[in-house]
Amino acid sequence: MSKQLFERPTITKLTPGVPSKHGAGTVIAPMPLIDGVKVDDLIEQYGSPVYVFSERTIRKAMEDIKRAFSLRYQKVQMAWSYKTNYLDSICRIFHKEGSWAEVVSGFEYDKAIRNGVKGENILFNGPAKSALELEKAARNGSFIHIDHFDELFMLSDICMSKNIEARVAIRVNMDIGIYPKWDRFGLNYENGEAWDAINRIMNNPKLKLMGLHTHIGTYIMSVDAYRIAASKLAELACSIAQKFDHYISYIDMGGGFASKNTLRGAYLSGEDTTPSFEEYAEAITSAIINSQIKPDKLPTLILETGRALIDNAGSIAGSVLANKRLSDGRRATIVDVGVNLLFTAFWYDHKIHPVSNHSGLVEETTIYGPLCMNIDVLRPSLMFPSLKRGDRFVITRTGAYNNTQWLQFITTRPNVVLIDQNRKVHLIRRAETLEDVAANEFIPEYLG
Amino acid sequence: MLKTSKLFTFFQGVLRSYSQIFFSESYWFAIPLVLVSFLDVSAGFSGLIAVLTANTAASLLKFDKLTILKGFYGFNSLLVGLGLGYYFEIALVVIIMAIFSGFLTLLITITFQGILGKYYLPYLSIPFLICIWIVLSARGMIQGIESNQSGVYLINKLFNIGGNPVVSVHQWWVGTITSNFLNSYLLSLGAIFFQFNVFAGIVVAIALLFYSRIAWVLSLLGYSVAFFAYSFLGMDMNQLGYSYIGFNFILGAMAIGGYFYIPSRQSFFWAFAITPIIALVAAGMLGLLKPLNLALLSLPFNVVLLTFIYSLRFRTVPSNFKEVQIQEGTPERNLYSYQSFIKRFPNFGWLPIKLPFYGEWLVNQGHNGDETHQGEWANAWDFVIVNNDSAQFCDEGNFCTDYYCFGQHVIAPAEGTVVIVVDGIEDNPIGQVNTQKNWGNTVIIKHAEGLYSKLCHLKKGSIVVKAGDTVHYGQIIGKVGNSGRSPYPHLHFQLQATPYIGSKTLKYPLTAYLEDGKEIKTFSYPLKEQKVKTMEENILLKKAFNYMPGTQLKWSIKTPKGKEKVNWEIFTNAYNKSYIYCNSTKSVAYFQNDGVYFYFTHFDGDKKSLLHSFYLAAFRLPLVFINGYASTDSLPVNRTFKGWRLFLHDFTAPFYLYLKTNFEVSMTLIGSEFDVDCFDYKSKLSGYSFRRLVFSKNFKLRVNNNNSLKLINENLQIEAVCEPY
């Protein structure tokens, strides 16, 4: 007979009668396994906390998005958004699934090349490309997505002086009826800058206009916004065809599809409110198909979806460090995962599951990270069971941005593991050591 | 120029009238036959006059040029003329009679062409029979005709032809070759031209052997069966050799074994089996005709052959004994073309019907399925969408919306007119079926007379077309649902011959789809558990091989010998078949393009020409790009082998083909996906004899994005570039 479960007694308000608007109380399911592998085993072997990725979930997400789009449109190409997660193993899974690379810096560009992506399969985005990076991208035949006129002029100069040709697209921003308007990246559609840039590119013999790109925002919950954006790009494509008899090769709709995480302050759970890939696909593809573009000239549709593909595949497993009562009587639980490791805690109400069974009683709790900083709050308030020191938990849907925006702060960053399709666990990034962190430092002689 | 070519055409028509007697269209084969006919100068002369008369009259009266050219109008008159000259010594009155009877035969020929043509039957030598009977019966009435005695005084005749040497050869033959079988076989062959000697027989036999091995074997087969049948039945052997009966068996075996039917084991069996029947008919007819004092001639062959061809048309299953559809002139050509054709185009002539959806779907139930596709509704498909784990749904699959296919677009599989739309039937909850309205919401589209497609179990309220709408391929007509007898969402698709809901299904292939992501299928039947997807066409390749009549291809050729330029032009003939015509070599290459493949179907002309290299290099080219895909085909043996190998192979060809020419083409894309610089086709021909490699030829064909072509024949070291067109 197993040992009876003990939890510290708590006092909860009894609310008889009909359930409140929040429903019949919170049930937090325990999560002993991640993709079929015991969390306890993972922590014992790789320490706490540990980042865990599921290859099966990644491939499933790719399959879902490819199916959703390819059932509706003939030519679809995915491009993996490096900034969302550029752990090499993760990128390579996406490349194996047929994704190109979408990079926004020279560093990411080199990373993509190192991962075996052909230069002609890299989309180079971002507002801060250097002259050397532009030249390299042009020589490799990568698609350079022009963000502003200064970049256009710089690229033109490079191509003229070095006598090379560049394949370019322009990033277009536009009013699609949602707030906030993302007009800081790319050239505006309504004020004519985009058309101006197109004309300059078309008249430049060294620049070849390959496509049009837009990225309307992040975590966009309205599929209509995509419909509008796609039809505006299609209109631009038609104007180009009409004026220059030139047919662009692709329309890049960027990313921004919402993952199933719940945004901070959202009333309903993300699982219920975010559109499915099918809905996004229907809006985008029908806008392009129904445009004036001739059927045999339909461009390839490129998607740079990052978040919606990787968020669900990543989790962080950690342990409780301590519990305490706050001044207002609320319980606080301190865990070993801080905002330095879970940057997205600022955006999302991440779900946290205890690993072991619990009594089912929950209490309003604040969850703090281990940093000695006031901002280190994972969840300001959630209904959570009582966990003891040493109890383990899993934070789900942490795959996007956390491994690129994480901070080496106060302590070093932990191991990252990947569970492959056969449920075998691989270490894909080992925990940092003091030597790693100090390796780049130099001490002037007089301090030696 | 025009005049000489007209004269040449006329000349060809006359020559072919000689070869037509052996069902041949070859005019060089006619040359020995003409010579043979002049062994008896009287017969030869009168025959020539008759055929000249018939063909001149047919040309002046503006009968069909092609029929004249092929000798179809001339050969009966020729036979009448030969007969006339054989029976009567040539004289002015006989010449006049040859002219009249030649013309009369033409008229009878055309009459029989009309009568029998309605039944798609050949008139064979019936016009000859009628006319020769009339002419021979008329002899008593006409003055001044003498019986031709040269048949009786053979030695005299031979002396006239070649003097002493010929006579001594004849003496030697008579002294040495005493085989009754061989002698009467040769006599029978000669008798076809009213030449009653073994010399004629030998020349005809050798000419026949060089014209067609199959025909030659058949002539021997027919004759030997008859010979043994006669000896077995104890019938008068002399009849076979000396009264123009033997050739009935020869012609009968040739016609059935190799001309009207594709040469095969079955055709040889029938060539064998028909001979005793001809013998029976011959014996019977002889009795009937005796009182009328008419010669039997080729009557038994005509009667039996017409009866045979006509009655075999009523077979319900043609089996492997198939009639020749397009007559190519020799049994060998018919055989090789047919062999290649059934392999290459097993479903030729179907209207293209594509899959009624976009993207990759799974065949959940195919033809003759275990669940519902049975009996009169056996030839239907059920399609669903599955994920990589082969599940049709996400979550628990308790709701229609969990199913991947639910709500997906259903498109028109080909152009047509909507004839029936049924909507308003509720989508079933999962697991329940509506057996009252079992087809559910349905659209029926008419594509052609007797060809309708039916799409069933659509989502309620999703159908966007109405009866009477014309639709084109790819047009959305509704969404996949779960109405009718459908326990879970799927798309039921069938083709049928009648426009009703509940009509029985029609077995009809689908085209241009990719099977399990790797195999290109044209006109084929998707099977259960296969994943199928409509092919995406490649714009560049589609444009490059979209040859329209009038297109000019201008090539610059570089060979080891030097440089030259040739021009090709695209034409379309009366039968809507397109071909490339090479202006300098006058070669033609017929092709077709079904959107998935570009094929060459036929080549005629100079085998050293660039067009022939192109024909070999582009024998079958995929017009869709699949990385690493290699397409295979096989070329007709007679287009790639020649000389003794082919000559020997012809003997066994009806039974076993040991020569084989495989074609393999692979393609690579040069450039990137968006900037295709060119496609490179690498094609390889490999000729095998008993699986041993005999020859191999390599070609490279490059299709540039500016629509120019480059062709390299590696064996002949020819490099040719075609300007953009």
Chain A hits for B513, Cβ within 8 Å: none
Q: Which of A67, A209, A301, A302 would you mutate first to test chain B, the one with the most B CBs within 10 A? A: A67
Q: What is the CATH number of the domain that holds B451?
A: 2.70.70.10
Number of domains chain A contains: 2
Cα dist. B649→B259, B321, B646, B663 in Å? 18, 21, 5, 20
Residue A317 CA to residue A335 CA, distance in Å, equals: 11
With contact defined as beta carbons under 8 Å apart, do B497 and B506 qualify? yes
Instruction: Give the domain-ending residue among A311, A328, A349.
Output: A311
Residue B521 shares a structural domain with residue B557:
no
Q: Where are the beta strands (DSSP E) in A68-146?
A: 76-81, 100-103, 122-124, 143-146
B477-505 per-position pLDDT tens digit: 999 999 999 999 999 999 999 999 989 99
A145-164 per-position pLDDT tens digit: 999 999 999 999 999 999 99
> Does the beta-carbon distance from A67 to B385 stay under 8 Å?
yes
Residue A279 shares a structural domain with residue A340:
no
Residue A12 CA to residue A227 CA, distance in Å, equals: 48
Is residue A17 assigned to a domain?
no
Does pLDDT of A24 surpass 70?
Answer: no
Does pLDDT of A10 surpass 80?
Answer: no
Residue A64 shares a structural domain with residue A119:
yes
Number of domains chain B contains: 4
Is residue A235 assigned to a domain?
yes
Core vs surface per residue B401-421: b (16+ CB within 10 A) or e: ebbbbbbbbbbbbbbbebbeb
With contact defined as beta carbons under 8 Å apart, do A177 and A224 qualify? yes
For residue A95, the SS3 value is helix
| Percent share of chain B, pLDDT over 70 | 95
Residue B68 CA to residue B390 CA, distance in Å, equals: 65
Q: What is the pLDDT of residue A1?
A: 59
B404-430 per-position pLDDT tens digit: 999 888 999 999 999 999 999 999 999
Q: What is the pLDDT of residue B3?
A: 54
Lowest mean pLDDT among A81-85, A191-195, B136-140, B304-308: B136-140
Q: What is the pLDDT of residue B595?
A: 80
Instruction: Give the domain-ending residue among A311, A343, A359.
Output: A311
Q: Which one of B358, B359, B672 has the shortest CB-CB distance to A141?
A: B672
Does pLDDT of B148 surpass 80?
Answer: no
In terms of residues, how long is chain A?
A: 448
Q: Give the predicted TM-score (pTM) of the model.
A: 0.76
Is residue B172 assigned to a domain?
no
Residue B472 CA to residue B491 CA, distance in Å, equals: 19
Amino acid occupying residue B491: L
Q: What is the mean pLDDT of residues A5-33?
A: 73
Q: Where are the beta strands (DSSP E) in A157-309?
A: 166-173, 187-188, 207-213, 250-252, 300-303
Is residue A16 assigned to a domain?
no
Q: What is the CATH number of the domain that holds A392?
A: 2.40.37.10
Is residue B141 assigned to a domain?
yes
Residue B442 shares a structural domain with residue B558:
no
Residue B102 shares a structural domain with residue B238:
no
Residue A305 shares a structural domain with residue A268:
yes
A77 lies in which domain range?
Answer: 55-311
Does pLDDT of B242 surpass 60?
Answer: no
Q: What is the pLDDT of residue B500?
A: 92
Beta-carbon count within 10 A of B577 CB = 13
Residue B529 shares a structural domain with residue B546:
no
Is residue B191 assigned to a domain?
yes
Residue A281 shares a structural domain with residue A199:
yes
Instruction: Give the domain-ending residue among A311, A341, A358.
Output: A311
What residue in B sits closest to A66 (Cα-Cα)? B359
Is residue A20 assigned to a domain?
no
Q: What is the mean pLDDT of residues A356-364?
A: 85
Look at residues A315, A311, A397 and name the one whose alpha carbon lies nearest to residue A49.
A315
Residue A409 CA to residue A370 CA, distance in Å, equals: 11
> Does the beta-carbon distance from B674 to A210 stay under 8 Å?
yes
> Does the beta-carbon distance from B675 to A167 stay under 8 Å?
yes
Q: What is the pLDDT of residue B372?
A: 86
Does pLDDT of B167 surpass 90?
Answer: no
Is residue B173 assigned to a domain?
no
Residue B430 shares a structural domain with residue B445:
yes
For residue A212, the SS3 value is strand
Residue A144 shares a structural domain with residue A160:
yes
Does pLDDT of B241 surpass 60?
Answer: no
Does pLDDT of B238 surpass 70?
Answer: no
Q: What is the mean pLDDT of residues B325-345?
A: 84
Q: Which one of A60, A67, A120 has the shortest CB-CB distance to B404?
A: A67
Look at residues A133, A53, A113, A37 and name the one whose alpha carbon lies nearest to residue A85.
A53
Q: What is the pLDDT of residue A335?
A: 96
| Percent share of chain A, pLDDT over 90 | 76
Chain B hits for A207, Cβ within 8 Å: none
Residue B598 shares a structural domain with residue B716:
yes
B371-380 per-position pLDDT tens digit: 888 888 999 9
Which DSSP category does B389 fall into?
Answer: T
In chain A, residues 374-413 whose CB comes closer than 8 Å to chain B: none
A405 vs B370, more confident: A405
Residue A290 shares a structural domain with residue A328:
no
Q: What is the pLDDT of residue A442?
A: 94
Residue A156 shares a structural domain with residue A302:
yes
Backbone angles phi, psi at A67, to 5 degrees: -65, -45
Residue A109 shares a structural domain with residue A234:
yes
Residue B301 shares a structural domain with residue B234:
yes
Q: Which one of A59, A71, A250 has the shortest CB-CB distance to B358?
A: A71
Does pLDDT of B185 surpass 90?
Answer: no
Does pLDDT of B149 surpass 70?
Answer: no
Residue B495 shares a structural domain with residue B632:
no
Q: What is the pLDDT of residue B1?
A: 40
Task: Record the tokens describing residue A85, joined without a space.
Answer: 């997660």
Q: What is the pLDDT of residue B143?
A: 66
Q: What is the pLDDT of residue B353?
A: 92
ipTM exceeds 0.85, yes or no? no
Question: Cβ contacts of residue B697 below 8 Å, gap of 6+?
Answer: B616, B684, B685, B713, B714, B715
Q: What is the pLDDT of residue B286?
A: 84
Q: What is the pLDDT of residue B574?
A: 82
Look at residues A35, A61, A34, A60 and name the one whose alpha carbon lies nearest to residue A49.
A34
Is residue A63 assigned to a domain?
yes
A101-146 per-position pLDDT tens digit: 999 999 999 999 999 999 999 999 999 999 999 999 999 999 999 9
Does pLDDT of B317 surpass 60?
Answer: yes
Given pLDDT bands bounded at 50, 70 and 90, which one contains residue B187?
confident
Q: What is the mean pLDDT of residues A33-48?
A: 95
Does pLDDT of B154 surpass 80?
Answer: no
The single residue listed with the structure tokens 């006092």 is A11
Q: What is the pLDDT of residue A39?
A: 96
Residue B701 shares a structural domain with residue B607:
yes
Residue B636 shares a structural domain with residue B711:
yes
Given pLDDT bands bounded at 50, 70 and 90, which one contains residue B90?
confident
Question: Cβ contacts of residue B332 below 8 Å, gap of 6+?
Answer: B212, B213, B214, B263, B638, B650, B653
In terms of residues, how long is chain B?
A: 725
Chain B hits for A118, Cβ within 8 Å: 672
Is residue B393 assigned to a domain?
yes
Residue A262 shares a structural domain with residue A155:
yes
| Mean model confidence pLDDT for chain B | 87
Strand A362-368 and strand A377-385: the pairing is antiparallel
Core vs surface per residue A69-99: b (16+ CB within 10 A) or e: bbbbbbebbbbbbbbbbbbebbbbbbbebeb
Query: How many Cβ pairs closer than 8 A exist between chain A and B?
Result: 48
Q: What is the mean pLDDT of residues A259-270?
A: 83
What does R_g of chain B's alpha carbons equal in angstroms?
A: 32
Q: What is the pLDDT of residue B244?
A: 67
With contact defined as beta carbons under 8 Å apart, do A350 and A393 qualify? no
Residue A45 shares a structural domain with residue A62:
no
Residue B245 shares a structural domain with residue B264:
yes
| Percent share of chain B, pLDDT over 90 | 39
| Percent share of chain A, pLDDT over 70 | 97
Does pLDDT of A52 surpass 80?
Answer: yes
Amino acid occupying residue A93: I
Is residue B461 assigned to a domain?
yes
Cα dist. A48→A317, A319, A388, B478 in Å? 7, 6, 15, 54
Residue A69 shares a structural domain with residue A197:
yes
Chain B hits for A74, Cβ within 8 Å: 358, 536
Q: Which one of A59, A120, A211 has the shortest CB-CB distance to B672?
A: A120
Is residue B84 assigned to a domain?
yes
Is residue B340 assigned to a domain?
yes
B520 lies in which domain range?
Answer: 361-534
Is residue A11 assigned to a domain?
no
| Mean model confidence pLDDT for chain A | 91
Q: CB distance from B360 to chain A under 8 Å?
A: yes
CA quadruple B393, B397, B399, B400: dihedral, nearest 10? 30
Q: CB distance from B675 to chain A under 8 Å?
A: yes
Residue B126 shares a structural domain with residue B185:
no
Residue B482 CA to residue B463 CA, distance in Å, equals: 13
Residue B237 CA to residue B65 CA, distance in Å, equals: 44
Q: Which of B672, B675, B705 would you mutate first to test chain A, the one with the most A CBs within 10 A? A: B672
In chain A, residues 262-301 whose CB comes closer than 8 Å to chain B: 278, 296, 300
Residue A402 shares a structural domain with residue A366:
yes
Backbone angles phi, psi at A335, to 5 degrees: -120, 170
Given pLDDT bands bounded at 50, 70 and 90, which one contains residue B441?
very high
Beta-carbon count within 10 A of B395 CB = 9
Is residue A7 assigned to a domain?
no
What residue in A sits closest to B406 (Cα-Cα)? A278
Q: What is the CATH number of the domain that holds A150?
A: 3.20.20.10
B25 vs B419, more confident: B419
Q: What is the pLDDT of residue B2?
A: 46
Which DSSP category does B259 fall into?
Answer: I
